[in-house]
Structures are given as structure tokens and as C-alpha cells.
Amino acid sequence: FIKELRSKFGYSFQDVQILNVNAVQESLVSDGITSSLLTGISYDTRNRLNVFETTEGFISTLDSELAGFSVLGGDTDFLKMELEHKHYFLAFNNDVPVLGGSNFGLRGKLGMLFATSDNPIPIFERYFPGGMYSIRGFGIRTLGPTIDVASASDPETLVNREFHIGGNKEAVFNFEYIFPILKNQGVKGVVFFD
């Protein structure tokens, strides 16, 4: 095991343009410039067997992003804080027949987004869970708050109930059991609950 403590500090400048939304939906989204400071710290004790595989140890990460204020400028003002912990441990030693080399993986991620002015938080900064790296079994960015929005400029038209506005907080928990299928070839299977 290698114990590793890392910190990061950076600056981000984004000019986002929202395209392909109708006139009704356009009032719900805002584009513009986001100027932000990024900070983070992580502690890693995983036994990385290769780029994709680990069987024991953990990694904990705390990240923050501060956008706007008079010093940074831009069109958006918010504070985003995220805490994530991944923990792996062996279920059975390698000498156990069939199940040897299998392990458990646990992951928890919490995120909070705070507005720091009267400006609304842009939709592209909000939380939209779903997908392979978040909550498997759902499409990418398909979970979270939705509102009823007319599907065209004419209010007499049908209502589009699938307009996702995203959330200002997120809690994702994953549990998985990883087991070897073909040990020598490195093929593994996974059973998960998200």
C-alpha cells in the first residue's frame, strides 16, 4: 500500500452558451461566464493493482469551487462543496476456491451547492445524478428535480414533464461485490446496489 496525500488549487474560466431550447425553456436556463477558484485535498491508501483495479484501501476527497464575487467576476456566484469516500476490502483471500480474490467496494458522495448572491445558479452547475459513474441503471443526468414546462411557445400545447432543472444537493451511495470470472485473463463481474 502507498499512502498518498494530495492537494490541488486552480482557476477555471468558462463561457457557456445554451443552444437548442425553445422560447419557454430559455427563460429557465442562463448562460454566461463562470470564473471560479478550485481547491481540493485527497488521501489515498488503495493498493492499485493496475489502472482500473484495486482490492483494498480507500480514497477520501474534499473539493470546493467558489465562483463569482467582485474579485473573480463573471455572471455566476456560487459555492460548491463535495465530499467523496471510496473504500475497498477483500471478501475472500486468493486461496479460497471460486470466490478467492473477490472484494467489496463502498462509495459515498455528498455535494452541496450554495448561491452567494441573488443571481440564480446556472443549470449546468446543478446536480443531475444518473449513469455509469453515479447511479447505474438510469440514463446519464436523468435524475433530480423536474418541472412542468410547455413544449413550445404556445401555452395551449402539450406539457413537457421531463425538463430537469437539477438539484442544489446530492447524496449518492454505491455498494458492489466484484468477483473473478476468468482470473488469468483479468475478467471480473460485478453485482451492485446504488
End-to-end CA distance of the chain: 28
- Phi, psi at residue 96, to the nearest 5°? -80, 125
pLDDT (0 to 100) of residue 67 = 93
pLDDT (0 to 100) of residue 45 = 94
Rounded Cα gap, residues 111 and 82, in angstroms: 4
* Contact of 125 with 119, CB cutoff 8 Å: no
pLDDT (0 to 100) of residue 118 = 86
- Least Cα distance to 40 among 18, 7, 13 occurs for 7
CB atoms under 10 Å from CB of 16, counted, come to: 16
Q: Long-range contacts made by residues 97-101, C-beta under 8 angstroms, separation at least 24? A: 99/179, 100/180, 101/55, 101/179, 101/180, 101/183
- Least Cα distance to 78 among 96, 65, 97, 60 occurs for 65
* Contact of 43 with 27, CB cutoff 8 Å: no
* Contact of 33 with 14, CB cutoff 8 Å: yes
State pTM to two decimals: 0.84
pLDDT in tens, the chain (194 residues): 679 999 999 999 999 887 777 666 676 777 788 999 999 999 999 988 777 788 899 999 999 999 987 788 888 899 999 999 999 999 887 777 777 778 999 999 999 999 988 888 888 889 999 988 889 988 888 888 888 776 666 666 666 667 788 899 999 999 999 988 887 777 889 999 99
- Phi, psi at residue 70, to the nearest 5°? -65, -30
